[in-house]
Amino acid sequence: MVTLLDTYIENRTRVQPDDTNNHDTAHGGNVAKWMDEVGAMSAMRLAGSPCVTASIDRLDFERPIPRGDTCVIESYVYATGRTSVRVRLRASREDPETGDRERTTEASFVFVAIDDDLTPTGVPDLAVETERGEALRAEAVAGEEE
């Protein structure tokens, strides 16, 4: 059985000039794209098959990510349905020289597992076996209720 921590992924992208808007900060569409890509990776780790984005339940931009900073995306599966996978995502700006971080964006995405014919296919149950896993899941569920 796949555990929540098995689906945890942290990915980094350096915010380059081509990634920015007219305020010289990461374009929100780019941040959403990076979150979607990393979220799909977490979903696929659980499903063991390709997954496609079904919905973005919430996407809250709290502060910008300046050009030159690193965008750190954290992603993990916190719940499953018959064919769906719920993924919690957080983006942070990270100073590439010091590693200091500040949360910038939070989101919940739903992905659907598909087979070779692009038909929804079943996903396994998610196991939560550690205190850290329980804390992450509780944080994700609390975020849904806000």
**pLDDT for 73-117, tens place per residue?**
999 999 999 999 999 999 999 999 999 999 999 999 999 999 999
Residue 58, pLDDT score: 86
CA-closest candidate to residue 11, choices 124, 90, 118:
90
pTM over 0.85? The answer is yes
pLDDT, tens digit (0-9, with 9 covering 90-100), for 20-65: 999 999 999 999 999 999 999 999 999 999 999 999 988 999 999 9
Instruction: Show the domains of the chain with their CATH numbers.
Output: 2-145 (3.10.129.10)
Residue 144, pLDDT score: 79
Count the Cβ atoms, other than its own, within 10 Å of residue 115.
Answer: 12
Strand, helix or coil for residue 140: helix
Residue 143, pLDDT score: 81
